[in-house]
Structure 1
Amino acid sequence: MLKIDIKKFEDLTPKELYAILRLRSEVFVVEQNCVYQDLDDKDVLALHVIGFKKNTVVAYTRVFKPGDYFSEASIGRVVVKANERQYGYGREIMAASIKAVENLFHTTTIHLSAQCYLQKFYNSLGFEQIGEEYLEDGIPHIGMVKK
């Protein structure tokens, strides 16, 4: 079970921010062999949902209120450390993120941009595909919405 914290950007400690950016880089840049600009100036708008295991960041998402990323509330940068994926932390961090959107932004409509291979995972959380498949940073994605 993860210890989950939710923080605004300005409340992140330098150590937490470093751990989050390291995890995002490990997975999205190195593991997925994708060169892209992860630091997109949106982190300052987001709430950061951080999953800790023994004081180590192993799972993470960032969530946005409606209008800050998409017109609906949104969840992005969903990531779990490679050697921790077998424990269900993806489901756990997403459940906490969905709950945060509902409780803090008072909406149940959530938009995300999913890597296509994760469609079934997001379907199991109540998200449905909208629109056609598209490439984002060279990786097939689909838009998905949970109402």
Structure 2
Amino acid sequence: MDIRIKAFKDLTLDELYALLKLREEVFILEQNILYPDLDQTDQMADHIMIFENNQLVAYARTYEKGIKYNEASIGRVVTSPSVRGQGYGIPLMKTAIHHLVSLGEQTITISSQAYAKEFYSKVGFKPSAKEPYLEDGIPHLEMKYLTED
């Protein structure tokens, strides 16, 4: 498992192509969500990538506080359909959390698809709102991770 953390400006063209392709494959084609994936914030994010045999199998992007939310955040969490259930999601999230905590962040907010609540709970996120809300026609929950002082 090859885990890489890079700022946008440090991504190679191959890494950028791979992460955009994976996001398109899952969020647009598989989930049939027609929205602008290129939202002008990739340049402000750090990109967490897991490669296996030189293939991108899991990805997320992280933001310091004040970019997406008042708190730090993690988004575009995705695992390739070809490796789902093979143990990449938890290391991906733990790496993203550790990265933000190492930058001094104490609270991390995510907008989770409602069906993934249990997955995010496994790495310490808790719902911060009781009711789900619709985002791109899909039920979502806001969840938060609080570091230990």
TM-score per shorter chain, which class?
A: over 0.9
Root-mean-square deviation (CA, aligned residues, Å) is 0.7
The offset of 1:16, in angstroms, is: 0.6
Instruction: Find the residue that maps to 2:95 and give its secondary structure.
Output: helix
Report the identity percentage.
46
Aligned match of 1:109:
107
Unaligned runs of at least 5 residues, structure 2 = none
Distance 1:46 1:133 in 2: 26
* Runs of 4 or more consecutive aligned structure 1 residues displaced over 4 Å after TM superposition: none
Distance 1:84 1:71 in 2: 33
Q: Mapping of 1:1-147 within 5 angstroms?
A: 2-103=1-102, 105-131=103-129, 132-147=131-146
The offset of 1:77, in angstroms, is: 0.3
Unaligned runs of at least 5 residues, structure 1 = none
Distance 1:106 1:73 in 2: 10
The offset of 1:22, in angstroms, is: 0.2
